Amino acid sequence: MPATGAIAGPALGGYERTIDLATSPVEVRLHYDAAPGSSALTGEGSIGTRLPGDGHLLLRVPHVVGRGVALLDPQLAASYPLVHEDERLPSLSVVAQVDLPMVPGARGARPGVKAIASKDLGGGFIHAIRFESEVKGEGPALAPSYRTAIGTSLRLRADTTGTVDLVALRPPTGSTAEREVLAQLGLVHALRPNTMLRLSLGAGPKSGASALRSTVGIDMHF
C-alpha cells in the first residue's frame, strides 16, 4: 500500500513522499537529493511488494554518495489499511517498522509504529490532506521519540503537484535535543511516466544547519 501525500527528503528529517506510479506487485525506486553547496548526494533505494490482506512490505536503504558510498541504517516496514476511504471517512492505515543498525557495536534494532490518515478532497485546488503520528525507540534504552506531521497536496497542473507540510519532532525524555517545528514547501513535476523531479524549500531550527534548506531530487521507478 504505497502512500501518497507527504513530502520526502532529508530537509525535514525523514518526512517522506512515496509516489505510486505502477501496478506491478514489485516496485523498485531510487531517490536522490542534492542540497545547494554540498558535494554529496543523499539517496535512498527501496524495494516493495504486496502482503496478504491488502498490506505492503517495504525495504528502504538510505545512503550518501560523495567520494564513496556510505550506507545508513536500512528500514523494514509493513503497512496495513484499517479503514478504507469513502465519501465521508478518510483512509486510516498503520505501519510497523524497524531500523536495522549498520554501524558495528551499535544498539540493536530500533522499532517504531506509525498511524497515517489521508483524505482525497476531490477535483479542487487542494487535492488531498494527510496526517501522520509516529513513535520510535531511540538510543541504547530505546526511549520513545515522537513525530507528528500534517501535509496537503495542491493540484497545479496535470503533471505538477505542490505540497505544504508541517512537522513537529519531540525527542526522548532526558535528551539534550530540543523540540522542533519544521515547515516545507514542495513541487513535484512528472518528467516522464517513471521519473519525477522534486524541488523543496524547508525552514526550521536545527543544530549545526541553516534555518533555510533547499533540495533538488529525482525519483525513478523501474
- DSSP codes joined into one string, the chain: ----SS--SGGGTT----------SEEEEEEEEE-TT-SSEEEEEEEEEEETTTEEEEEEEEEEESSSEEE---EEEEEEEEE---SSSPEEEEEEEEE---STT----EEEEEEEEEEE--SSSEEEEEEEEEEEEETTTTEEEEEEEEEEEEEEETTEEEEEEEEEEEPPTT-SPPPEEEEEEEEEEEEETTEEEEEEEEE---TTS-SEEEEEEEEEE-
- Rounded to whole angstroms, the maximal C-alpha distance in the chain is 52
Q: Are 58 and 79 in contact (CB under 8 A)?
A: yes
Instruction: Provide the pLDDT for residue 140.
Output: 76
pLDDT tens digit sequence for 190-212 = 998 888 898 988 887 654 455 67
Percent over 90 (pLDDT), the chain:
40
The domain covering 10-221 belongs, at the CATH homologous superfamily level, to monomeric porin ompg (2.40.160.40)
Provide the pLDDT for residue 106.
Answer: 63
> Which pLDDT score, from 0 to 100, does residue 104 have?
66
Q: Which tens digit of pLDDT belongs to each residue from 126-158?
A: 989 999 999 998 877 888 999 999 999 999 988
pLDDT band for position 24 (50/70/90)?
low
Q: Model's pTM, two decimal places?
A: 0.78
- Residues 27-55 have pLDDT tens digits of 888 888 777 777 788 888 899 999 998 89
Q: What is the pLDDT of residue 103?
A: 67
Say what the pLDDT of residue 206 is.
54
Rounded Cα–Cα distance for residues 95 and 113 (Å): 6
Does residue 15 carry a pLDDT above 70?
no
The position carrying cell 530540543 is 178
In which region does residue 139 sit, left (phi positive, over 0), alpha (psi from -120 to 50) or beta (all else)?
A: left
Least confident of 14-23, 61-70, 112-121, 206-215: 14-23
Q: Name the average pLDDT for the chain.
A: 82
Q: For the chain, report the end-to-end CA distance as a whole number of angstroms.
A: 17
Confidence of residue 170 (pLDDT cuts 50, 70, 90): very high
pLDDT of residue 20: 43
- Check residue 11 and give its pLDDT: 37
Q: 212 or 184, which is more confident?
A: 184
pLDDT at 221: 72
